[in-house]
Amino acid sequence: MMRGSFLASLSFTMLLGAGCSGSAPGSDSLPAIRSSGTAGYAESLLHRFRSSPDAASPEAGLVFDTAGNLHGTTIAGGADPSCPGGYNGGCGTVFTIDASGKERVLYSFAGKPDASQPFAGLLLESGNLYGTTASGGNVAACYSYGGNGCGTVFKVDKSGVERLLYQFQGNFGSGKGDGQGPKGGLVSDAAGNLYGTTPFGGASESGTVFVVTRRGKEKVLYSFTGYGDGGRPYSGVVRDAAGNLYGVAYSGGNQQCTGGCGTIFKLDNAGTLTTLYSFKGKKDGGNPIGGLLTDAAGNLYGTAQNYGNLNCNKRGGNPGCGTVFKLGPAKKFTVLHDFAGSPDGAVPSESLIRDKKGNIYGTTSFGGDDTCNGGYSCGVAFEIDASGHESVLYTFMGGKNDGEVPYGGLVRDALGNLYGTTVSGGVGPCSQGCGVVFKLTRRAISRSR
């Protein structure tokens, strides 16, 4: 239950923190704070997932509420490990960690006809949590691998009550050109409409951009062809004040890469898509997988999973270890950093965040300590400052006392602490651990007089 299609292109034979089964072990004693990296950050584990009935294998980042609680999703675990589509590991959860550090499963997905496998993070609106699941739903017209549904858009209220707002029908079988298998998050407008993407389905089976009203009515805004306009948009979209949507497509565009190197796109209110940039699969990177970040000047920031430094060896998959990029309003494309692999990061897979000073923070799924994860390495948290200098903030070490492979991005509190998840590492019956929630705190620097 990795990020199936796009990580399959890496041709890795790793064991990650999915495929969980069995009952949770006894009480957990969290390990002491550990330090790693070059920028003076210390890590503490807020929670180590233990599989059903606890959550397991978080693939997305976290969201804060006004009370300081953290909310997130996991693709496995939950109350029923034998749920349809759960492969004896559970169908996933929505979880909460309160300000004191106590974790609680807010909702356990039950599989078809309910939802299953929420790969994306959550949108918090008026105390309610909104998200997507890659499978589940009970639309008879949907034909999907294993027959477990084409995915859903859901709402979970503060009491843990879930409602499916929309169940995708896919295109194959239904012939309606609908999307299938959403793996990205949602954004909303003032009317409460929810916007997102699916990497599959659509008129050409290459993915869609969609909108779902708060009453549950869905409309496909655009169907990708998989060629010049891009294909397989795994991440969600961002929305500007005029209502334009911006996102990335993992494939399509320049065909110098197998299946295409990917694109950055804009979709206006009339449904017209403009390709803002087509990756070349060279020093610029290729196969963007994480979503976009915007600033007040209209710049777009994001990551490309592959290419960049072609001398980087990440032990499998497409060449290169990925890049962090910036695209200006005049379509000027700039590489802010190309990852070099261990001890630097490799394969950035999620969205970025930016502080008031213009510093950018993110994670890479691999890179870092090349003795970790059987030599594939366990990932890093990084910062790129306003001058373009990159620093590794923390290097994940795996094992019972640390996480490994952070697929999700970071969130930042008012004090500058960073929070995130790793899909594996920690404890529990999952292969290589069921994942963790971590906090990175900048250590105080003593200055001599």
Average confidence (pLDDT) per 10 residues, the chain, 449 residues: 38 41 54 64 95 97 96 97 85 95 96 94 97 89 76 97 96 85 97 97 96 96 97 98 97 93 97 98 96 96 96 77 96 96 93 96 95 89 93 95 96 96 96 96 59
Cα distance between residue 34 and residue 31, in whole Å: 8
What is the structure's pLDDT at 39? 60
Neighbours of 41 (CB within 10 A): 23
> What are the backbone dihedrals phi and psi of residue 146, each rounded to the nearest 5 degrees, phi first?
85, -5
DSSP 31: P
Output DSSP code: residue 282. Answer: B
pLDDT at 11 (0 to 100) = 32
Given this model, what pLDDT does residue 401 score?
A: 95
Long-range residue pairs from 415-421, CB within 8 A, at least 24 positions apart, any chain = 416/355, 416/442, 417/441, 417/442, 418/41, 418/361, 418/381, 418/393, 419/46, 419/62, 419/70, 420/61, 420/62, 420/363, 420/381, 421/58, 421/59, 421/60, 421/61, 421/62, 421/72
Number of helices and strands (H, E) in the chain? 1, 40
- pLDDT number for residue 40: 74
d(CA 235, CA 57): 18
Could you tell me the pTM of the whole model? 0.92
User: What does the alpha-carbon distance between residue 116 and residue 104 come to, in Å, rounded to a whole number?
Assistant: 18
Domains of the chain are: 111-223 (2.120.10.30), 226-395 (2.120.10.30)
User: DSSP alpha helices (H): ranges in 93-183?
Assistant: none
Q: State how far the Cα of 50 lies from the Cα of 433, in Å rounded to an integer.
A: 8
Predicted pLDDT at 10: 37
